[in-house]
Chain A
Amino acid sequence: MSNDQQGVIVPAPATFEEFFSDVWPRAFRLASLLTHSTEAGEDIAQDVLASMSRRWDTLEQPAAYLQRSLVNASLNWNQRRRTAFQKLPLLVTREAVEFEIDELADAIARLPMRQRTVLVLRYYADWSESAIADSLGCRPGTVKSLASRALTALAKEIRP
C-alpha cells in the first residue's frame, strides 16, 4: 500500500508523538467508518493508540500494527454491540451523485460487520485484497467472497 491511501500507512516515525499526530485523524475516521459510530471510532482509535504508546519501543511495524488493531478492535466492538448505532452525517447532496445516498449509506450500515469492513477497507482505505485478508485473518478468496456478497446485497437493496 502507498502512503497516500486513506488507511493509516505512514513512514516510520521517530517518536510516538509524531506517529500519533500523523495517524490520529485517519485512525479516527477509519475506526468510525468501520463501527459506523464516531463515538466508538474515537474510543477505539484512542484505546489502540494508548496501547501502542505503552509498547512503542517494541513495535517494529507500528503502522501495520495500528491497522490490524483498528480492524480487530472495531470488529470486537461491533460484535459486542455495546454502543448504539448512529447514522453519520452526510454532506453530499443527492443531485451531485445521481442516487439516493441516504439509502445506500443505510444499506451499507445494515451489512454484516465483516462485509462492511471489507467495503470500508477496500473503497475508503483503498487496501489491497491481501492486506484486507491479513487484517481479517482470512484468505484473499474470502475477501472476494465477502465483497461480492456485500455488493450483491447493496445492489439488491438500492435497485429493487
Chain B
Amino acid sequence: MIDLEDQIRIVLNSQAEAMHVPDAVPAAARISMDPPSRRRREHLRRDGLRRPRGMALAVLSTVLVATLVGGLWWIANRPALSNFGPLPETALTEGVGRYYLPTGLPDAYRVLAVREYAGDRPVPTAPRALYRDSQTGALVDLYEAAPADRWPDDSAGNVVQLPSATARLQTLGPPDTGSETQFQVDFGEHLVSGITRLTDQAALTRVLADVRTAEGSAPRLVGDGYTLLGVQQAAAQVAAEATIYFGPPGGHLGADSTTITIRRFREPVDVALRAGIWDESATINGREIQLGFMSVHPAWYPTPLIEVTAQAAGRSMAAQDVLANLVEVDERTFADQVVAIEAAVDDPVVEFVGSTSITFPSGIEAVLFGVEDNPRGICLAVDTTRRCDFALMTNAVYTDDGRDVGFFDIQLLVDQRWFTVGLRTDTTTFPVPDGSEVATDGDRTYYVIERPADVVAVDDAMHGSSPRPLR
C-alpha cells in the first residue's frame, strides 16, 4: 500500500511528465522582446493598433481581461448583412437589453457579482480584412498597424526578407491546443500586421509575399487563391456590457466558476468576421456556438446585436454547454439576482475567515471578506442599503510578495447610485481619485467615491466606458 505522501509524489510527477513542454528555442528568442505572454497576445488581438502604456495599462488590463478573454478583436461598422433582419431599437440607457442566466450549474453556485458598463467612447480602429487561403484553407486577418507598434529589430524569432518588404513572424501557442502565427510585414512607410493559424514556414512565406498595402483601406492579399471574406471598415461599438459571475460563495473562482458576459453592439456584427481566424462552431441544443479562441471562450449570438460569451472553470459545465443552456430572463429577474448577492455573506460555501471593516468619514462602510489571507469579496453599505461583490479576485492586483491584495477598484450600484470603492498601497503611482473619501490602515489606503467618471472610465480601446445605473 502506497502512503499518501508517495501518492502525492506520483500524482504530481505524473502530471509534470504529461505536460507538453513548449519548445525553448523560440521562447528564448522571444524573450528579448516584450514577454509574448497570453496576456500580450490577448492585448494584440484586442487592441492591435495601440501600444501598451506601462504599468497603468497593465493594471487596467487586469480589470478588463476578466471580461475580455477570448481573444476578441474588433469588427466595425460593417454593413448590415441581408439575413440579419430589422434591428431592434434600444436606447443606451437600457443596458444590454437582454439578460441570460445559466441552468444546470452546481447547486452551490450563486450569483457572486455583476459588473455593467456602457460603452460611450468611439474608438478608432484600422480596417481589417479577413481572407481565406485556398491552398491551405487557413484564414488570414490583416490590418495596417501604427508605426509605434513595429516590433523591435531584435525581437523577431523569424525574419523573412521579401522582395519589397521585411516580414517578422512568431508562432505562439501549444500545438496540442492550437497555434497561431502573428506577423508584421514592414514596407517602410506602411506596416501591416496580421494573424493566422498557419504555422508552416513555406506557406507563411508565400502568404506574406502576397501582402499589399492599400491607402485608406484594409491591406490586401494579391494573387490567385485568396478569397476575401469580409472587411471591417471602421470602429465597432459596444453599447453596453454586463458580466455575471457565478460560483460557490467564498470558493475559489479559479477552480469553480462560470462567467457570462453579455455585450450589446450599436450595429449588428458579422459573426464570421468576429470569430476571425478561430472559425469553428458547434450546434448544441439547437444553438450555434462559436467555439472561439483556442476553443475555450465560446460565444453565442442570439441576435446580431447581442454577443454572449462564457467561461467555465473547474467542476461547472463546459463553457459551450453553458451557452447552450442559457435562459433569457427579464430585467426585473436579473435585478433580483443582483440584490441576492448580499445573501452570500451569510451563506458562504467556504466560510469567510476574517473580515476588515472600513468606515469612511461620511459613514459609508466597506467590509472586505476573506479566506485566510485572501479577500474574496466586498460589501459597501450606504445609508441603509448594502450591495456586495464576491468576485473581488477578478479585479484585484496583489502585492509583489503575492500575499495580499494591493489594488482594486470595484463599482457597486447602491440604491441606484454607482459607487467606486478601492484600495491602493502605492498612492504615488496610482493615486486615489480627486474627491474621494479616504480611510487609511497603515500603508493601505481605501477610498470611496460616487460615480467618478474619471476613475471608472476604463482606458481600453474596446470599452472606453463607465458604469451606468443600468438597472
Contact = CB atoms under 8 A, between A and B. Distances in A.
A90 interface: yes
A48 to B, nearest CB: 9
Contact of B38 (A43, A90, A108, A124): A43
Interface string A110-121: 101110000110
Interface stretch (B137-145, B219-227, B395-403, B420-428): B395-403
Given A76-B398, A97-B7, A124-B9, A47 B35 contact: yes
B231 interface: no
B17 interface: yes
A155 interface: yes
B394 A82 contact: yes
Contacts of B24: 20-21, 24-25
A95 interface: no
Interface string B15-40: 11111111010011011101111110
Nearest to B391: A81
A70 B174 CA distance: 20
B254 A88 contact: no
B9 A82 contact: no
B108 interface: no
A51 B400 CA distance: 14
A29 B21 contact: yes
Given A38-B20, A98-B1, A104 B8 contact: yes
A1 interface: no
B30 A73 contact: no
Interface stretch (B196-204, B309-317, B330-338): B309-317
A92 B14 contact: yes
Contacts of A17: 28
A98 B11 CA distance: 12
A39 interface: yes
Most buried by B among A73, A81, A97, A137: A81
B65 interface: yes
Contacts of A50: 30-31, 34-35
Nearest to A46: B35
Given A24-B27, A79-B374, A137 B19 contact: no
Contacts of A114: 372
Nearest to B314: A85
Contacts of B400: 72
B12 A84 contact: no
B10 to A, nearest CB: 5
Interface string B252-264: 1111110000000
Nearest to B27: A46
A4 B403 CA distance: 29
B15 A80 contact: no
Nearest to B399: A76
Nearest to A120: B12
A123 to B, nearest CB: 5
Nearest to A71: B402
A53 B372 contact: no
Contact of B62 (A21, A80, A151): A80
A63 interface: no
Interface string B307-332: 00001111000000000000000000
B146 interface: no
A46 B398 contact: no
Contacts of A21: 24, 28
Interface string A1-22: 0000010000000000100110
By Cβ-Cβ distance, the 8 closest A-B pairs, closest first, are A75-B402, A124-B12, A50-B35, A84-B313, A81-B393, A24-B24, A50-B31, A81-B254
10 contacts: A20-B27, A46-B27, A46-B35, A46-B37, A71-B402, A73-B402, A84-B254, A85-B314, A108-B8, A109-B255
Interface of A: 6, 17, 20-21, 24-25, 28-29, 32-33, 38-39, 41-43, 46-47, 49-51, 53, 71-76, 78-85, 88-92, 97-99, 101, 104-105, 108-110, 112-114, 119-120, 123-124, 137, 151, 154-155, 158
